[in-house]
Structure 1
Amino acid sequence: MKKLLTLLFAFAFSSLSWSQMKISGTVKDATNEVLPGANILEKGTLNGTNTDFDGKFQLTVKEGAILVVSFSGFETQEITVGGKTIFDITLKEGLQLDEVVITGSRTPARSNTSSPLPVDIVGVKELQATGQTTFDKALQYKIPSFNTVNTPVNDATSLLDPYEIRNMGPSRTLILINGKRKNLSSLLYTQTSPGRGETGADISGIPTDAIKSIQILRDGASAQYGSDAIAGVMNIILKDDYKNGSATFRSGVTGEGDGEMLGVSINNGDKIGSGKGFINYTIDFSKTALANRPGIVDAEGEAADFGADINDVREFLSRRPDAGNINGSPETTAAKFLVNGAVDLNEKSQLYFNAAYVYKKVNSFANYRTPYWRTLDDYPYLANFFPGSNPTNPRGYDGYVPTFEGNLNDYNGTIGFKSKLNDWNVDASVTFGGNEQTYSISNSHNGNVVLSPTTWVDSNNNGIVDLGELSESSQLYRENSPISFDPGGTAFNHVVGNIDISKVLSDQVSIALGAEFRTENFEVIEGGLASYDGGGADSFAGNRPENSGNFNRYNLGGYLSLDWDINKDFLINGTVRAENYSDFGSTFVWKTSSRYKFADDKYTLRASVSTGFRAPTLHQIYTQKAQYSFVPGQGIQVGGLVNNVSPQARLLGIPKLNAEESTNFTVGIGGKPFKNFSFTIDYYSIAVDDRIVLSTELTPPNTQAFAGLSDVSFFVNAIDTKTSGLDFVFSYNRLEVGNGKLGFNLSGNYTIENERDGAVKNPAFAANSGQSVVNATQEALFFTSRPKTKWILGTTYDIGKFGFSVNNTYFGKTTFKQQGLDSNLRTEFTPKIVTDFGVNFNVDKNWTISFNANNILDVLPEWSFKAENANGQAILNDPAQVKTQSNLITFNQRYSQMTYDGYHFSQLGSLFNLSVNYKF
């Protein structure tokens, strides 16, 4: 019996050995170039491998196995092993896998070349090649119609820079993650800078290493996706590979030796179950030090603004030429976590999920309070609060600089179910997302007179508080003030439920329909008493109880979409959508688009026309606060932002907000006339009615309701606008030069018009008092504060183990009409070209070293005055008046590089980055 068992075991072992075999081979392209990273999979199993740096692979498979060989940008091949052990495989170029467009249409996916809509597709390697430290800054140097810029005065804005597509503001671009709506930030931009009065999603917090590709739809898409998609849609597609993990170490420094950056990230994954289930995760930690770029402050301007003795000002500036100001790029610490995955429930059903959490801490500063601005005559206790080294003041008091610390928590997650039922594709999901920003103020004080009623004695019996009757115990603040404050913050969250159903009815017709339910909640978090009482902390007032609270709304929408391929060349798409909001009612929008291919599919004509809408955000409806701002010639003043549902709004006669409405038109042509060359040219026109704006600062009525405020502002549907322009993309790649491959990509955006259409719709309060909610400064921020044209010329050359890239970004003219600037003048930022250089060295199949020198020529923004007329030219002919005007818009040269209201691109000068990547 034992011999029989031994014989059976030996037979089974020999049979098993005979059924398995070891194979090897090389994968190349049609030009005989090896393809590192190509995927070889034994069909029907999870057994597979990838080619190494030399395009070679080894794998143990069953003798009768079929190999599935794939690589991005090439046609997938299936090869039967058939007893063969050595393979020489050649893949043909085909549809690029990352060009399957899922953005802009609800019907089953189509390739980019046949899409009736203009879509930019950017892979993660292209983003990483920019050398930029955050995702939004990388897009700035890859997408011409995308712009973002650091704001001159940071405060809460330091947590999240405003961005926009086609000069339409951050709130008119919808952000999706894997096709699902991402939550808005809780931050409302209220500074007088680009993006004023709007809010957007925090895309800077998304770790680049977690991204597979980006699809940017440059067309209105409210009919497909609902509110916020007037300018376009950005769909961030996450990595879905459980193999090919890597770890990256990043470091960097500016050419000035500051702004040091250190970061480390890990991206990896694993399979789930026996099917195609996977999980991919990313962990990213980074810290960036302060990069300070203050200006040299003008003494005469300071003395005039603050009514100070010129000698005192000069003495202080002799020791602190920048007046102690700290501005530039703040110290930032970030931790980012993201996971993406899916599990096959059966052959036709899948459970999918993704989740992300981002924590950011930012340390920035308010304007320095100089000793001639915050004087000991007015605040004698400051010498005890902020002792210094000034020999002319008690205890060396030399002013102080309040700090601003911000903490951001942003999270989002989606869980969904996909299935195929009777050839219908069904996708049901629920998405959660939120953003909370809380702040703290240090090195400041509450200098307001707020009395304790239990300690004040009316010794004169006149019912009036006389200075002689006050004691230290009578003062709640001033000499009794804390120097650190909790001003509160804001929070926003939403819950979104989606169900999307689609089917290919025939070779010619596809249909899609679906519904969305969304609930949103905006919270204004109350600050500590000392942060707002009597006017609050010196630099950043906290949220008062009457302005704080939770505010909620919900909406329900549904859509129907139909694609009809009239023939193999001609496609027509139509989409309609109805939506109802709990706070302002219903809306109905539609879209139709078409595409026609000709000349053997080498060229494609495409066009679309649509209507759209943008709902006012809860931030715009409910934000009310006092805020500090710089008023030219008057220094820092306290203004009030009045919301549209407050008693103050009723006193001013401010109407409630309605949704914006838009009409979009796009027409373009794309083509691939010969191998390796492709192009697209698209014209767009966007008309927006009842655009919501944050008004300029208006003088309020002289009533108790507005006591202590230098001005008031509020949100209002104030203007109609029209924007049009051209987008260009030209690509010529894989050219054989020497022993390497050369590639070119030229893309550009040119704004034809971006302007107000018709008169400003002023509320009665503004019109009756001779004021307007939109002034010249506002007009410039809306329409000319982004480059009129922007071009990106990228060149790559790959040879052996090296890859080289040179990127030139041209920022065109930008025009401002800053607060306080004489109406006969304007400022223009000079067109500039920023040059970036990068090199990659593939040490072996696991290690890659990358070096980037961004802005290698150390190009900085430059501006100059331009005369609007003869009166303006007379000002420019007088150096004294020029100096006065310059001081007005730079806060006496504190912000000499960018002016107080903004500039056309963010630059700290040259930036050098080094990264080391290890593939697992």
Structure 2
Amino acid sequence: MKKNLHKISFLIFFLLLSGQLFAQGLKGKVTDSAGSVIPGATIQVIGAKIGTSSDANGQYALKFPAAGNYRIRVSFTGYETSEAQVDIDNTVKTLDFSLRDAKQLLLDVIVVGSRSSVPRTNIQSLVPVDLITSKDVRTFAQVDVTQILNYVAPSFSSNRQTVADGTDHIDPASLRGLGPDQVLVLVNGKRRHTTALVNINGTFGRGTVGTDMNSIPVAAIERIEVLRDGAAAQYGSDAIAGVINVVLKKVTPYSFSTSFGQSDSKALGREFNDGRTFQVDFSKGWAFKSDRGFINFAGQYLQRGYTNRGGLDTRPLLYSANPTKGATETEADFQARFASLKAADDARAAANGLDRNNMRVGNSDSKNGGFFLNGQYNFSENAELYFAGGYTHKTGSAAGFFRLPTQTTQIDLTIYPNGFLPLIDTKINDLSFTGGLKGKLGSWNYDLSNTSGENNIAFNINNTVNASLPLGTSPTSFYAGKLLFRQNTTNLDLDKKYSFDSGFLTSLNTAIGGEFRIDNYQIKPGEELSYSYGQPSKGIPGRMVGSSFTAAGAQVFPGFKPVNALNKSRHNISGYLDFEAEFGSRVTLEAAGRYENYSDFGSNFSYKFAGKIKLFGDVSLRGAYATGFRAPSLHQRYFNNESTQFVAGNPTQVLTVNNDNPIVSQFGVGSLKPEISRSGSLGLAGRIAKTFTFTIDAYNIDIDDRIVFSSQYARERGAGGVLIPSGVVNQILNTVDPNAQVNSVQFFTNAIKTNTAGLDVVLTNRFLLGTSSSLLLSVAGNLNKTIVRSIQGSPKIESDPTLKAKLFDRLERSRFESSVPKNKLNITANYTVDKLSFVARTVRFGEVTFLNAVDPNLPANNLPLQLDQTFSPKWVSDFSISYAPSKALTVTVGANNIFDVYPDKLYIDPRNNEYNLSGVSGSNYSGGLDNTSNGRFLFPRAISQFGFSGRYVYGKIACTF
């Protein structure tokens, strides 16, 4: 019995001891500054394999294997990380954490713009930087990056294009009024590859190659940094307007959101319920044990239906005879005959089911799915392995121009007796991977990395025909070929900060590095019938309609021919030096220089000087002067194809030739050179009374040798459309096209000098209205103006007035000077009270101007002045209400463009209205002179203001756990 009592006593003692050992712990609650709990916050014990997450009530609990002194770190996306030291003994201690909103102090740490490893906020930066957080990108209904930035960043402009081939699926973007290819995009500070697409149709950014930022899932983004200053000396080519750096998420809780919305517009006299959009995304970041690093996975799926805001086709739909007044016919008889023809045409159209609203003028149909990984593994305090990679697959369907039954050279009536609307369907794959090693070598920080990226676009043309084939034999779908662009970039960056205890110079940050980059561009041909005239491989000749040639290849997008196929590469090597010196606590100066050498056009040296002087408190005067350059892209050097484009409403076969083509040399144009820039900025930035921040920055940018896509050099015709044999363009085109199937030619050339000047203003203030409510107000504005200072062609072009006039016509000039808003103002209010949040935003998009290629001011043209049109400024307002029953769940309903605002309508010539030809003797049936393409375009597509889809209503559910 005594022996058993000893055993029982020992067991009780062991249990008590075990209880004491495992009673060593820490518990508590994680809340925000307003006292609301934060579920899913990460709690880590620094230097130990101990960690957990807060539960739905914000509670957490940690157990420790032994007593001791530990440092606890608590973090959550959108909040400042908090750390605390705690002495653990044989008890369970309580320690609560209150995390401050990252915006509350308005000290937004940025990476871009400086080579210094010391953290710096946007108001401390030497140059202007906008910072858009993950909260900003998820506040409203926009679900892709370019549309988010268009409404958040005042100097950024991007809109979806329509009836523009591949550009319908990849949005061109502008920063500070410059082109899509004059802004450099980075991901985690590493160069992002551009797309395989060069914009060749009649849209903003014509002739440029941009970066598809929409291939980066919004769910993967922690923040976006927009550097609004020339930075080629720091980052290399393309950074003339600035740099956009997308920073990926790190350690985050489980996050899931889904939204659904559609257009709900009634502003045009019709009701629209199209553009249905469904989005779902997910992200989660896991921390490795013992503070060894992290890995984050984020994915997104987006499905968007097409919208249509087209007008009614005013052309005759079922016959081609254009009524003209006979020599002996009275006006009354002519009008009666016209009315009879119109009535007959309308009746036949109705009987055949033809709708005069026969276009898709609006957003394309699109499905977009992709993911991103971002991670880091810490081998030691001095060596970290990092990586980031993503893949996105996007399919899209965009319509071209409707083909009428009367367009006999472009249609097969045995297949489409009522005409057809051809579709350009794309499959876009975008993939990238970055891997690198960074850390310390002695007193130097090092970063060695390699980034590879690829963008490829396959074109499939559907609901169409090759009209040159024998009647009834043409397929209705064609594979038209593929574009591909690859880029591989290797970087080595070293930096070291020297500190001095005394003297005039208090610190000097020195950075040195190099880069080696390889670019590859490919065009792969489509199937034979997508481009052929007839089918030569089977001895089938092309079909004729009377004495007219039928159009070769797939209607709307003839495929790439074997002669178009290419596989071109180049490489460049560069090195840079960057010095950043602090003179006491008030003065900081920076100097940077970069040398680049390209294998295809030579070398360039760029430099930059920047500085900041603290005037008082947290208010500083800052400024910069920089030179820069943009290397001509491989696309601009080598792209070539033949396409069907509609010019003044007429189908035109357009030949695009590259700089190696003999046609270009006949125009006297040589190889492309880099664009060279000189830019300066001066501004004030600071914080007053801890909650009010402001940045005011003026800028001026001069660019020489700017690359343009020439206007179309059309064949010269005389009376009755007869070709003029002696015409210079005819003689040149006849060398490659003696049958005159090609109507015009265009090419890339360094032709203009431009100046862009502007002002950016950003004001933000947060009002704390109590323990559970706050109001954030922000006002951001941009003013900018671009002018073309000079146009300079080759000696041959300059010597011929006809060639000179067509090199860069009025329409092309307006794409540079007035196709994006000259000013933009964004006013946003975010009011939070308890579990409710109200967000209101209104954006004023400034005026834009369209200039017709034909100058209506010349008396000889005798055209209405309304061919040129300025579209007035408009206010577009958004509103949303969010309810968060807990930190884990938020429900949002709202509307973008809540007042259903549209741009000004295009001017419509009265002679094109309701077929009214009264008083216009001898006019064509569709004889109006305007920019509506026979009434089918109600709004301009050659300029970029804010789109024309009208009101969009939506609902969203977001979960965090």
Instruction: Answer yes or no: same fold by TM over 0.5.
Output: yes
**Structure 2 counterparts to residues 874-889 of structure 1, below 5 A:** 888-889=930-931
**Structure 2 counterparts to residues 580-599 of structure 1, below 5 A:** 580-599=597-616
Q: Does 1:276 align with 2:289?
A: no
TM-score (normalizing by structure 2): 0.85
- Secondary structure at 1:384 match in 2: coil
2:45 aligns with: 42
Between 314-323 and 273-282, report the one with greater CA deviation: 314-323
CA offset digits 1:290-311 (Å, max 9, x no partner): 2222212224899999789655
**Structure 2 counterparts to residues 265-664 of structure 1, below 5 A:** 265-272=281-288, 274-299=290-315, 310=342, 313-315=345-347, 320-372=354-406, 374-375=407-408, 382-386=412-416, 397-448=417-468, 477-506=470-499, 508-534=507-533, 535-600=552-617, 602-632=618-648, 635-664=650-679
Take 1:831 and 1:156, find their aligned partners in 2: how far apart are those partners?
29
Q: Does 1:909 align with 2:950?
A: yes
Q: Which amino acid aligns with 2:273?
A: G
Take 1:399 and 1:321, find their aligned partners in 2: how far apart are those partners?
11
Between 150-159 and 857-866, report the one with greater CA deviation: 857-866
Q: Does 1:80 align with 2:86?
A: yes
Cα separation, partners in 2 of 1:211 and 1:30, compared to 1, 3 Å: closer
Cα separation, partners in 2 of 1:13 and 1:173, compared to 1, 3 Å: farther
**Structure 2 counterparts to residues 150-189 of structure 1, below 5 A:** 150-189=160-199
Choose the corresponding residue for 1:101, options 110, 119, 122. Answer: 110
**Structure 2 counterparts to residues 712-727 of structure 1, below 5 A:** 712-727=745-760
Take 1:439 and 1:33, find their aligned partners in 2: how far apart are those partners?
52
1:689 aligns with: 704
Cα separation, partners in 2 of 1:762 and 1:893, compared to 1, 3 Å: farther
Cα separation, partners in 2 of 1:426 and 1:569, compared to 1, 3 Å: same
- Secondary structure at 1:895 match in 2: coil
Cα pair 1:293 1:326 within 8 Å, conserved = yes
Cα pair 1:750 1:790 within 8 Å, conserved = yes
Cα pair 1:68 1:79 within 8 Å, conserved = no
Cα separation, partners in 2 of 1:497 and 1:478, compared to 1, 3 Å: farther
Alpha-carbon RMSD across the aligned residues, in angstroms, is: 3.1
CA offset digits 1:864-890 (Å, max 9, x no partner): 6699xxxxxxxxxx9999998975311
Q: Does 1:701 align with 2:730?
A: yes
Gaps of 5+ in 1: 387-396, 449-475, 868-877
Cα pair 1:629 1:637 within 8 Å, conserved = yes
Cα pair 1:821 1:885 within 8 Å, conserved = no
Cα pair 1:152 1:899 within 8 Å, conserved = no
Q: Which amino acid aligns with 2:428?
A: L
Take 1:359 and 1:754, find their aligned partners in 2: how far apart are those partners?
36
1:792 aligns with: 826
Between 900-909 and 602-611, report the one with greater CA deviation: 900-909
Identity of aligned residues (%): 31
2:549 aligns with: none
Cα pair 1:890 1:900 within 8 Å, conserved = no
Between 35-44 and 538-547, report the one with greater CA deviation: 35-44
Cα pair 1:792 1:807 within 8 Å, conserved = yes
Cα pair 1:210 1:238 within 8 Å, conserved = yes
Cα separation, partners in 2 of 1:63 and 1:295, compared to 1, 3 Å: farther
Take 1:489 and 1:174, find their aligned partners in 2: how far apart are those partners?
25
Aligned length: 864
Cα separation, partners in 2 of 1:669 and 1:97, compared to 1, 3 Å: closer
Cα pair 2:829 2:841 within 8 Å, conserved = yes
Cα pair 1:301 1:892 within 8 Å, conserved = no
- Secondary structure at 1:899 match in 2: coil
CA offset digits 1:849-902 (Å, max 9, x no partner): 1223111111111146699xxxxxxxxxx9999998975311112111x23423
CA offset digits 1:259-311 (Å, max 9, x no partner): 11222222123334643321101122221222222212224899999789655
Choose the corresponding residue for 2:202, options 180, 188, 192. Answer: 192
2:21 aligns with: 18
Take 1:46 and 1:477, find their aligned partners in 2: how far apart are those partners?
75
Cα separation, partners in 2 of 1:693 and 1:58, compared to 1, 3 Å: same
- Secondary structure at 2:635 match in 1: helix
Q: Which amino acid aligns with 1:919?
A: T
CA offset digits 1:625-668 (Å, max 9, x no partner): 111111115x1111111111112222222211000000010111
Cα separation, partners in 2 of 1:218 and 1:626, compared to 1, 3 Å: same
Take 2:881 and 2:80, find their aligned partners in 1: how far apart are those partners?
25
1:776 aligns with: 810
Cα pair 2:669 2:794 within 8 Å, conserved = no
Cα pair 1:819 1:889 within 8 Å, conserved = no
Cα separation, partners in 2 of 1:90 and 1:305, compared to 1, 3 Å: farther
Q: Deviation at 1:739?
A: 4.8
Gaps of 5+ in 2: 265-271, 325-340, 501-506, 534-551, 715-728, 858-864, 910-918
Q: Deviation at 1:400?
A: 1.2
Between 303-312 and 115-124, report the one with greater CA deviation: 303-312
Take 2:760 and 2:316, find their aligned partners in 1: how far apart are those partners?
47
1:67 aligns with: 72
Between 154-163 and 117-126, report the one with greater CA deviation: 154-163
Take 2:283 and 2:924, find their aligned partners in 1: how far apart are those partners?
54
CA offset digits 1:525-581 (Å, max 9, x no partner): 111111111332222111111121101100000100011001111000110000000
Between 843-852 and 120-129, report the one with greater CA deviation: 843-852
Take 1:745 and 1:879, find their aligned partners in 2: how far apart are those partners?
55
Cα pair 1:889 1:900 within 8 Å, conserved = no
2:548 aligns with: none
Cα separation, partners in 2 of 1:879 and 1:353, compared to 1, 3 Å: farther
CA offset digits 1:350-386 (Å, max 9, x no partner): 11001010100001211111222x24xx68x833212
**Structure 2 counterparts to residues 863-878 of structure 1, below 5 A:** 863=905
Cα separation, partners in 2 of 1:883 and 1:418, compared to 1, 3 Å: farther
Choose the corresponding residue for 1:146, options 122, 133, 156. Answer: 156
Q: Which amino acid aligns with 1:904?
A: Q
Q: Does 1:254 align with 2:267?
A: no
Q: Does 1:215 align with 2:230?
A: no
Cα separation, partners in 2 of 1:908 and 1:745, compared to 1, 3 Å: same
- Secondary structure at 1:298 match in 2: coil
TM-score (normalizing by structure 1): 0.88
- Secondary structure at 2:637 match in 1: helix
- Secondary structure at 1:113 match in 2: coil
Q: Which amino acid aligns with 2:438?
A: K
CA offset digits 1:78-124 (Å, max 9, x no partner): 23245572335556788969822210122214232321010000101
Take 1:736 and 1:560, find their aligned partners in 2: how far apart are those partners?
48
Cα pair 1:750 1:788 within 8 Å, conserved = yes
CA offset digits 1:115-163 (Å, max 9, x no partner): 1010000101101112102111111110011111122313211220111
Take 1:493 and 1:260, find their aligned partners in 2: how far apart are those partners?
33
Choose the corresponding residue for 1:735, options 762, 768, 771. Answer: 768
Cα pair 2:115 2:511 within 8 Å, conserved = yes
Cα pair 2:218 2:300 within 8 Å, conserved = no
